[in-house]
Structure 1
Amino acid sequence: MFQTSLCKLLGIKYPIIQGALGGTTRPISDPTLVAAVSNAGGLGILATWNLPDRLILKEIDRVRHLTDRPFGVNIAATHSSYDFSKKAGLLAKEGIRIVTTGRGDPKIPAVSILKDQGIKVLPVVANVKQAISLENKGADAIIASGLEAGGHVGNITTFSLVPQVVDSVKVPVVAAGGIGDARGLLAALVLGASGIQMGTRFIATHESIAPLDIKKRILYASSEDTVVTTLRTGSPTRTLRTAFTEKWEELIKSGASVDEIKDFRRKVLKRTRGNIEEDTVGAGQVCGLIRELKSVRQIIECIIKDASTIYMGLKENGKALE
């Protein structure tokens, strides 16, 4: 029932992508989580944030030992063209055929570099202009991510962004931001998307290597317990609200100088991790929907089963109105 153009493009059973998940010391979307998503019928995405090439190769090898299903790799298109080309070549040599990129429309020709290596490219965008530009550059699909999402965000909601992107491009569109259950999948499909990407929902899983206190924080959080801050990277990023983000907001509101702000951020990046209140933890507003720790397979199978039930109910309601 839910075999879409995205499924055909990526060779997956269900139109569900696991968003690349970074971490303070190592990526959360590691081989175990990636393989679990792919084995359950979705598309796992290996995050490579802050990883040297040798470790990226090791992680790819680990994924392949855990699954024979399709999976992808996420790389940041923030390097120089030379460095990005080198990394694209490395992935192509390893047989990687799907890559997601983030941070909108990069200044370097990231899409063409990847396409030249025979890699399918799914960039994450925050507005229509970026989507059109990246489709023109050869993107195979567009991930339209609303401001509800965890991590780097734009300023347009998913519900407004997705149909605009769908109307503006011909390639499959993936809805992201604020999606965590069957209702989100069906809503995305009704808006014209060919699938969904979820990140925060997969943090709160048994397979996730995220610390237990972070998982618990997500389970007990409301949507209001997230905040958009520039603390970590200098770009707007949605994270869980902590004592640290509160200090940052106070610093900005107090009219601190540029040097004071830079000094505070420098201390943040050097700080020893371990205390959630002294860190920034990327998470989306969908945390308000997440109340139970589950396995990846339970999540994906539940979404598909519930979506089918809801869809059949809508059909019956439609007949009753005829």
Structure 2
Amino acid sequence: MIGQLLRTPFTDLVGVLHPVVQTGMGWVSGPRLVSGTANAGGLGILASATMTFDELEKAIIEVKSRTDAPFGVNLRADAGDAADRCRLLIDYEVKVASFALAPKPELIARLKEHDVVVMPSIGAAKHAKKVAAWGADAVMVQGGEGGGHTGPVPTTLLLPTVLDAVDIPVVAAGGFFDGRGLAAALSYGAAGVGMGTRFLLTQDSAVPDAVKQLYLERGLTDTVVTAKVDGMPHRMLRTDLVEELEETSAVRRMGPTLRRTAAFKRESGMSWTELLKDGREMRKRQGRTLGQMALAANTPMMLKAGLVEGDTTAGVLASGQVVGVIDDLPTCEELVDRVVTQAAAELRRASAYVV
């Protein structure tokens, strides 16, 4: 691992060597990948939305057994047990709480009382202003190039609007894979970058090798944004299954959706009452329609089929557009070292233009 070459408000805030974040990807960001990133000097983030409470506790313990470096946990702010999961972070002294949606002000305050850094992910400047006013320490902003749930605005346009709106550290995500991207983000005024697909395609990722090879074979136009999986825009690899979903009517999708919902209930250990409660919370906080709530359980089970079980005929593969420019599988240490080294070199090169 190389020494610190770039110091930013984010590295100071979190206590990591490098302004590089491995994002919390469901079924992908497990203890091995998170600890690999942490040991490389970046910030690894556990994805807890696809874990039961007990699985999350075990995962935190495993990460702490693998590294002494700071790491984070990504949480669903609208989950029924969000407060209990935050208590886990406090009890085990996890450094960062990352949220896919804005957590309530009282939850932010509770975490900050125990020196946990709060970093929600946001998709618009107004959302960044809201969570900053509530006390968030930093935000991650993902542009439309990113994988998984995404919005329509590219990072190059979204990032400056967020930077103009808040004075807390901003981590840019969506479209980043190398040191040139990190240098560009820092030049915009960001304090670091978040990468998902790039970390998925490392030796430390537990995604099956055959699936990784499928990613490596894809080009820049081989992803698609669809709402047919869970009712929300979701960027993933273009596969035969995704093409079929795009062409299938809502009525024909209902049977498989109900089966996957039942499978998610078994997997999560939740009761039907708890599932309905979570669904109502999604509708209240995200503005989802009844149809979108019915599809919500599709995502974790279809992602598990593809990313864990390697069954691309039954599962989907979340992916950012950067999949089209990735052609290798480095270790986390090799990846972080070269991203940071290249970024420092690019910033030095660009400084020569200043007169």
Compute the TM-score of the two structures, normalised by the length of structure 1: 0.89
How far the C-alpha of 1:229 sits from its partner, in A, is: 1.7
1:283 matched to 2:323? The reply is no
Quick check: 1:17–1:43 contact (8 Å CA) kept in 2? Answer: yes
What are the residue-to-residue correspondences of 1:191-202 with 2, within 5 Å? 191-202=188-199
Query: Corresponding residue for 1:234?
Result: 231
1:266 matched to 2:258? The reply is yes
Letter paired with 2:91? K
What are the residue-to-residue correspondences of 1:67-78 with 2, within 5 Å? 67-78=67-78
Query: Corresponding residue for 2:17?
Result: 13
Out of 243, 251, 267, the residue aligned to residue 246 of structure 1 is 243
Quick check: 1:85–1:113 contact (8 Å CA) kept in 2? Answer: no
Letter paired with 1:20? G
1:52 matched to 2:52? The reply is yes
Q: Secondary structure at the match of 2:194?
A: strand
How far the C-alpha of 1:117 sits from its partner, in A, is: 4.7
CA deviation string 1:58-78 (max 9, x = no partner): 111111111110011111112
Q: Structure 1 residues 261, 77: closer, same or farther in 2, change over 3 A?
A: same
Letter paired with 1:285? Q
Letter paired with 1:32? R
CA distance in structure 1 between the aligned counterparts of 2:144 and 2:110, rounded to whole angstroms: 28
Query: Corresponding residue for 1:173?
Result: 170
CA distance in structure 1 between the aligned counterparts of 2:312 and 2:54, rounded to whole angstroms: 29
Compute the TM-score of the two structures, normalised by the length of structure 2: 0.81
Q: Secondary structure at the match of 1:314?
A: helix
Q: Structure 1 residues 285, 145: closer, same or farther in 2, change over 3 A?
A: same
CA distance in structure 1 between the aligned counterparts of 2:53 and 2:319, rounded to whole angstroms: 27
How far the C-alpha of 1:113 sits from its partner, in A, is: 4.7
Quick check: 1:227–1:240 contact (8 Å CA) kept in 2? Answer: yes
1:220 matched to 2:217? The reply is yes
CA distance in structure 2 between the aligned counterparts of 1:173 and 1:66, rounded to whole angstroms: 28
Letter paired with 1:122? M
How far the C-alpha of 1:278 sits from its partner, in A, is: 2.7
Higher relative contact order (CA 8 A, sep 6+): 2
The runs of at least 4 consecutive aligned structure 1 residues that moved more than 6 Å come to none
CA deviation string 1:152-209 (max 9, x = no partner): 1122111101111011001000000010001110110111100000010011111110
CA distance in structure 1 between the aligned counterparts of 2:106 and 2:87, rounded to whole angstroms: 14
CA deviation string 1:96-118 (max 9, x = no partner): 2311011x435786534533554
Q: Secondary structure at the match of 1:224?
A: coil
What are the residue-to-residue correspondences of 1:44-193 with 2, within 5 Å? 44-80=44-80, 83-102=81-100, 104-105=101-102, 110-193=107-190
In structure 2, stretches of 5+ residues that fail to align are: 264-301
Quick check: 1:229–1:238 contact (8 Å CA) kept in 2? Answer: yes
Letter paired with 2:254? K
Quick check: 2:211–2:310 contact (8 Å CA) kept in 1? Answer: no
Higher mean Cα deviation, 263-272 or 297-306?
263-272
Q: What is the identity percentage for the equivalent residue pairs of Structure 1 and Structure 2?
A: 35
Out of 335, 341, 345, the residue aligned to residue 299 of structure 1 is 335
Q: Secondary structure at the match of 1:228?
A: strand
How far the C-alpha of 1:234 sits from its partner, in A, is: 2.4
Give the RMSD, CA atoms, in angstroms. 1.9
Q: Structure 1 residues 130, 109: closer, same or farther in 2, change over 3 A?
A: farther
In structure 1, stretches of 5+ residues that fail to align are: none
How far the C-alpha of 1:85 sits from its partner, in A, is: 1.3
